[in-house]
Homo-oligomer: A and B are copies of this chain.
Amino acid sequence: MVPKEIKNQSVPQSHPRYSSLKYRHKIIEGMKNLVVAEAGLIAHGRGECFDYIIGEKTNETAKIAIKAAVATLLTAKKPVISVNGNVAALVPDELVILSKLLNIPLEINLFYAKEGRIKVITEVLKNAGASDIKGINEDMMTELNGLESNRRKVDFIAKADVVMVPLEDGDRTEALKRLNKTVIAIDLNPISRTALWADITIVDNIIRVIPEMIETTKQFKKLHTNELIEIINNFDNKLNIQKTLDLIIDYITKQKEEAFKILE
């Protein structure tokens, strides 16, 4: 259930927490390379805990939200995917594949504007094959109303109708909603402000979400616009989040009965 710390960098693949330890290592390396902010490590840990209590898998409710998200991105006029340090450290290759499949730009948008971070994150995305990266040229930037943090500085996001925000802070999600943008959030905390404010909330780990979105995009590209719109119209975010909370309650109830069996 609970991860051991990384003992060394060659954790065997057979280790029950291999995947979790691998991504933890990526985040720590990301911090050393300036890609990830220090607070990004704490945020990652918070995510790990929420991941445990959803069972560390893409639940049915997440799959439903992913379908609505992909349908929305495929029918949007000016969609954009926001990228922060943790996302760039964890899933750069998958994110670039998704953005190319959807023909959507990636925009670097950071909470912590430490000197040089935009440059190293740009490098990470370029190395992963990205060609259309926004948020790197100060001359193209404008400021979002109602947002104090560094995240107020936006490029393509200012004009976008749909913004996908993986691993987001609540302030920006609120600001984007107040500007009438459609927000797609990826957030392991089902009751964060971002999760509650977003139009479509995918409660799942980004390392599983982006590959699942890639597969869904491949399928949905074959659908007619009417079919995509039906998928969007049938989606109820509030209900979906409440069902996710039911899954968490079920998981903890099960743990209550089973946890001590490991000692027997």
Contacts and interface: CB of A to CB of B under 8 A. Distances in A.
Nearest to A37: B5
A161 interface: no
Interface stretch (A60-68, A129-137, A203-211, A237-245): A237-245
A223 interface: no
B255 A245 contact: yes
A43 interface: yes
State how many copies of this chain the complex holds.
2
A39 B1 contact: no
Interface in A118-137: none
Interface stretch (A89-97, A227-235, A256-264): A256-264
Contacts of A259: 191, 196, 241, 245
Interface of A: 1-2, 4-7, 24, 27-28, 31, 38-39, 41-50, 53, 111-112, 148-149, 169-171, 189, 191-194, 196-197, 238, 241-242, 245-246, 248-249, 252-253, 255-256, 259-260, 262-263
